[in-house]
Amino acid sequence: MGTKDFANIRSVLATDCGSTTTKAILIEKVGEEYRLVTRGEAPTTVEAPFEDVTKGVLNAIKEVEELRGRKFLSDDGEKILTPQDGDVGADVYISTSSAGGGLQMMVAGVVHAMTAESAARAALGAGSIVMDTLASNDHRLPHEKIETIRHLRPDMILLAGGVDGGTIKHVVELAELLASANPRPRLGIAYKLPIIYAGNKAAREAVAEQLEDKSDLTMVENLRPELERENLGPARDKIHDLFMEHVMQQAPGYNKLMAWTDAPIMPTPGAVGKLIEHAAKLNNINVVGVDIGGATTDVFSVFDGIFNRTVSANLGMSYSMSNVLASAGMENILRWVPMDLDEPELRNRIGNKMIRPTTIPAELEELKVEQALAREALRLAFQQHKEFAVSLKGVQKQRTISDAFSQDVGGETLVDMMSLDLIIGSGGVLSHAPRRSQSMRMMIDSFLPEGVTRIAVDSIFMMPHLGVLSEVNEHAAVEVFDRDCLIYLGTCVAPIGRGKAGKEVMKITLSMPDGRSVEKTMLFGELALIDLPLGQPARARIEPRRGWDIGEGPGNPLECDIHGGVVGVILDTRGRRPMHIPEDHKERVEKLNAWSRVVDEYPDIDSPEKMAAGQ
Amino acid sequence: MAKKKANVFTPGLKVSPETVVTKERRLPIPGQLLVDKGAKVASKDIIARTELPGKVQMSNVANVLSLLPGEVPDAMIKKDGDKVEKGEVIAEKRSFFGLFRGIAKSPMDGTIEAVSRITGQVTVRGTPTPVEVAAYLDGDVVEVFPNEGVLVRTKATFIQGIFGLAGERHGELRLLSSSPDQPLKEDDIPDDVEGQIIVAGSYTDQAAFRRAMECGANGVVVAGMDYSDIKDILGYEVGVAVTGNEPLSTTLIVTEGFGHIDMAHATFDLLAKNAGRVASINGATQIRAGVIRPEIVISLEDQVTDEEAEKAEEVVGIDAGSLVRVIRVPNFGRLGRVVELPPELTVLPTESKARVLTIEFIDDGQKFTLPRANVERIEER
């Protein structure tokens, strides 16, 4: 890694080495703006017979070379040319990686709901998968914990525990457990497992005594120095460093790749999180982001500046599809399927997708089934996120007499759907859905936004690349994120409340940018679409009926700007907490098709005539 | 049309009458190798051995004896490295001029491993568990990894399945279906299948599989099974296809997929031809990065030449004329020959754009166009 003038770069090549595909993008300065120019992809080559990640990187860049019509690789095709010289090469080359299963960690802390939870947050925030969370009070016997540690073989362990000046004994007990288990790392049986200690600083010496000889031990600042405060930064940074030094060193070809890049390689989810956090801070908004992959689903949120990330390791659209069925249950999946389907047959189809994960739906019915499963995968991943993204537990609060009855002890979810400004979706099923209205529907149905919420998708899955770019040139990353990465689908307007079929829920009046006025009265159980392209927002007056809340309290009207997008404004009066889907099969199928028709979701139900003909 | 480039990589399942199979046989932790490079091994031969450290139990002696943690080392009767039996006194505390005696006992048979003066815990480690790794194949040791394992190579008939349950087993192949489209029912399984690997045709259900287990069969190879039957056999849903450690006495190998599907002729014919011979099978499946498929290996007696070993590494793509199988509805499981591979993206009925190919079905000659991602190559060599 040389020293470069990152402020004045003219071009950036960035790759993301995923477990199946390596994706390359090219960003160039066009006039005064940074823009995405082209992208290329190739199969990842971490596994046999190649066992060298750089082969896939070079192949993906070769595709960029061909599409762009200029040279980025040396004559022998074995090196990336940096910096840009005339028309040849790029100024900067950067990369992220999740190949080989990403970074897999185990975390430990004294109290499950306090230091152990903070440790998990630090690990997740750094982009890792948390395989298990050990705590002194997790109800497992010592030998059971030891067996678990041995069995899981993580890439790294983060040990926390005790506020500064707090318990030493319990922390050392955990260190003793780790020492007894003497865990071996997942990759390579010969090297020592990295352990980061980020607990009570008074216990450092005793922890070192236990673990120094048996592991590669590093100490960082306590991640929970006081009950009221987390200090996750130092532990997160150390995880990144060790990811580079240890885990990446073991993966085939990464030594070479690390020498090529102009900034440290980041774990893919770490880079995506960085970008979402950045976008939220820059615009001072609350954001939820999701990346749904074949094996895992990552959810990110920023509420009032607090960033959280969760990874649902076994919720995904191919490898983990059967697990979506197992977790959600057949009934929940069928509630999104707008047709009659034989249940055992559906089970076999899902099983077959799991064992042949690269197949794609060739028929519309198959696509609808996949999108039904996606709704449930997203719903479950978001539910897990809401349970994890909570305020610090164990914090003593000053209370007034009015609080005395609320039983508030911390641990409430930070995810407040009414104050959420933007949902960003990413991953194949959302980014590559044949119609954008399908992506918007999937996100609305699974996240159930409340009030007024904008919805966007990552156009071609480039958030990881931009996340790592933000490390070297924030300005370029933000510019490309706004102009080429995010596709604004539109806005969802959904009041909270429950109702009965046919009852009025709200009236909305939109003063459109072209001077027209659009008025719409919504009944319970309806969806409606108002066409509003991206550009100037419309001024809206939303008047909820008694008992319905659009953000200003039940029955109170709201005036605000509403932004459009490639789909438009979706008015959703199907109710919230809960959303109502008819239980009767026939009625439900009719409703599902009616909702799809309104937003022009599928080609076979474009016209009501076709529907009437039973097609 | 421009040259039809076979720039398609849809790895199929390998079904080969004669190929080179190499297997890494490694210990979970370093240990002792029992064979040298060049050795001839049989599938059941033990090639490496080690001892997994025993289970650990901890006893909080400070709490038991009401001592401060720092006082525990002095109270210990047994010291680091001492062997102890379950219930044996390991520490004691005398008080009131020795009149009262408190004792702490070992929670298990083993060795005292550590005494902590910070937590007052005493760690006892149980006896180590011996671990042995067998050769799995009849073949030659072509490479050794010091203290870790070896590479065994053999020339063999090799068949990959798509999904399996349970791990490595050996046994004589026993054909119980007469054709690839014949299902295997519970009643079709005779009593004398103990130690054998049952080869079925198109489909079997959980009742038949349970019968095979009861009769002591080492394995069942079948084209298709219902996904819900797998759930019933295991007692839980396989959410993620990472298998191999299921506690089943019979290994299952599904060759085609979930549902009623005929076994590919090539697979069935090869299994039928080898009936009566001993096969090594493994149900372990891992459909993640670094795919592992279940397999059936029947070692041949010939030596592997270097040329053959190299050829085995070749990756074959799909081209016009290739035999492929449809691996997703519609037409799931049917076989066809590729007649055209248009290079441009084509709009599917879902409105997605994808690379497609056109095949001609083997059974009725009808042509059918589908995404390239939805076929797999059937190797014919």
> What is the CATH classification number for the domain harbouring B183?
3.50.30.10
Quick one: average pLDDT of A93-98? 91
Out of A146, A320, A352, closest to residue B328 by CB: A352
d(C-alpha A391, C-alpha A404), whole Å: 19
Contact call for B121 and A320, based on CB within 8 A: no
The answer, for A84 touching chain B at a CB cutoff of 8 Å, is no
Residues in chain A closer than 8 A to B348 (CB atoms): 361-362
Stretch among A27-36, A181-190, A368-377, B22-31 having the lowest mean pLDDT: A181-190
- Is residue B130 domain-resident? no
The answer, for A364 touching chain B at a CB cutoff of 8 Å, is yes
Minimal CA separation from B315 to chain A, in Å: 9
At A531, is the pLDDT very low, low, confident or very high (cuts 50, 70, 90)? very high
pLDDT at A401: 55
Q: What is the pLDDT of residues A46-84, one digit of tens each?
A: 766 677 889 989 999 998 998 899 999 999 989 999 999
Q: Is B375 helix (H, G, I), strand (E, B) or coil?
A: strand
Task: Mark whether B173 and B43 lie in a shared domain.
Answer: yes
Task: Mark whether B67 and B192 lie in a shared domain.
Answer: no
Task: Mark whether B251 and B166 lie in a shared domain.
Answer: yes
Contact call for A181 and B121, based on CB within 8 A: no
pLDDT at A611: 40
B129-134, strands of its sheet edge to edge: B32-33, B46-52, B129-134
pLDDT at B309: 61
Minimal CA separation from A321 to chain B, in Å: 7
Task: Mark whether B170 and B293 lie in a shared domain.
Answer: yes
Minimal CA separation from B278 to chain A, in Å: 28
d(C-alpha A569, C-alpha A527), whole Å: 10
Percent with pLDDT over 90 in chain A: 60
pLDDT at B198: 98
> Greater confidence, B361 or A214?
B361
What secondary structure letter does DSSP report for A243? Answer: I
pLDDT at A428: 86
Task: Mark whether B283 and B328 lie in a shared domain.
Answer: no
- CATH code for the domain of B84: 2.40.50
- Is residue B207 domain-resident? yes
ipTM field: 0.84
- CATH code for the domain of B330: 2.30.30
- Is residue B373 domain-resident? yes
Two tokens, residue A23: 């994706």
- Is residue B340 domain-resident? yes
- The number of helices, as runs of H, and strands, as runs of E, in chain A is 19, 22
* Separation of CA A166 from chain center: 35
- Is residue B109 domain-resident? yes
Q: What does the longest C-alpha to C-alpha distance in chain A come to?
A: 77
Q: Is B330 helix (H, G, I), strand (E, B) or coil?
A: coil
d(C-alpha A581, C-alpha A526), whole Å: 11
Q: What is the pLDDT of residues A543-590, one digit of tens each?
A: 999 999 999 999 999 999 999 999 999 999 999 999 999 999 999 999
- Is residue B305 domain-resident? no
At residue A495, does pLDDT exceed 70? yes
213-252 in chain A: CB under 8 A from chain B: none
Contact call for A356 and B327, based on CB within 8 A: yes
Minimal CA separation from B23 to chain A, in Å: 13
Contact call for B116 and A172, based on CB within 8 A: yes
Task: Mark whether B24 and B87 lie in a shared domain.
Answer: no
Most B-contacting residue of A214, A330, A358 (CB-CB within 10 A), to test interface: A358
Task: Mark whether B171 and B186 lie in a shared domain.
Answer: yes
pLDDT at A610: 40
Q: Please, what is the angle between helix B227-234 and helix B206-214, to 10°?
A: 40
- Is residue B24 domain-resident? yes
Residues in chain B closer than 8 A to A350 (CB atoms): 227
Q: How many Cα neighbours within 13 Å face the side chain of A442?
A: 35
- Number of A:B CB contacts under 8 A? 170
At A204, is the pLDDT very low, low, confident or very high (cuts 50, 70, 90)? very high
Nearest residue to B203 (alpha-carbon basis) of B219, B229, B182: B182
- Is residue B4 domain-resident? no
Contact call for B119 and A180, based on CB within 8 A: no
H or E element, residue A278: helix A268-283
Two tokens, residue B287: 């459909």
Provide the domain limits for residue B219: 15-50+155-299
Q: Is the peptide bond before B11 cis (omega within 30 degrees of 0)?
A: no
Two tokens, residue B345: 């993206």
**Nearest chain B alpha carbon to A189:** B29
Residues in chain B closer than 8 A to A437 (CB atoms): none
Q: Where are the domains of chain A?
A: 6-99, 102-256
Check whether domain A6-99 has CATH 3.10.20.370, yes or no = yes
Out of B118, B125, B329, closest to residue A349 by CB: B329
Out of A147, A190, A359, closest to residue B328 by CB: A359
Minimal CA separation from B58 to chain A, in Å: 7
Nearest residue to A564 (alpha-carbon basis) of A536, A592, A583, A540: A536
Contact call for B29 and A320, based on CB within 8 A: no
Q: What is the pLDDT of residues A172-198, one digit of tens each?
A: 999 998 988 887 776 665 678 899 999
Task: Mark whether B225 and B108 lie in a shared domain.
Answer: no
Amino acid identity for residue A314 in this structure: N
| Strand duo A486-494 + A451-458: pairing | antiparallel
pLDDT at A79: 92
**Nearest chain B alpha carbon to A170:** B119
Do A6-99 and A102-256 fold alike per CATH? Answer: no
pLDDT at A380: 96
Task: Mark whether B348 and B373 lie in a shared domain.
Answer: yes
Most A-contacting residue of B109, B326, B329 (CB-CB within 10 A), to test interface: B329
Distance set, CA B362 to CA A97, B17, B260, B323, B337 (Å): 43, 21, 19, 9, 7
d(C-alpha B34, C-alpha B49), whole Å: 7
Nearest residue to A205 (alpha-carbon basis) of A181, A180, A171, A233: A171
Minimal CA separation from A306 to chain B, in Å: 33
B56-60, strands of its sheet edge to edge: B56-60, B121-125, B110-115, B83-84
pLDDT at A423: 98
Run means of pLDDT, 10 residues per run, chain B, 381 residues:
34 80 86 94 94 84 92 93 93 81 91 90 88 93 92 93 95 96 96 97 96 97 95 89 90 94 89 95 82 90 66 66 90 91 89 92 94 83 52
Its CATH architecture, for the domain A102-256, is: 3-Layer(aba) Sandwich (3.40)
At residue A39, does pLDDT exceed 60? yes
Mean per-residue pLDDT of chain A: 89
The answer, for A19 touching chain B at a CB cutoff of 8 Å, is yes
Task: Mark whether B231 and B354 lie in a shared domain.
Answer: no
Task: Mark whether B26 and B116 lie in a shared domain.
Answer: no
Task: Mark whether B162 and B21 lie in a shared domain.
Answer: yes
Minimal CA separation from A274 to chain B, in Å: 26
pLDDT at A142: 81
d(C-alpha A533, C-alpha A531), whole Å: 7
CB A307 within 8 A of CB A381: no
As a whole number of Å, the end-to-end CA separation of chain B is 29
pLDDT at A396: 60
Total domains, chain B: 3
At A233, is the pLDDT very low, low, confident or very high (cuts 50, 70, 90)? confident
Q: What is the pLDDT of residues A286-317, one digit of tens each?
A: 999 999 988 889 999 999 999 998 888 788 99
Contact call for B58 and A142, based on CB within 8 A: yes
What secondary structure letter does DSSP report for A185? Answer: P
Residues in chain A closer than 8 A to B121 (CB atoms): 173, 176
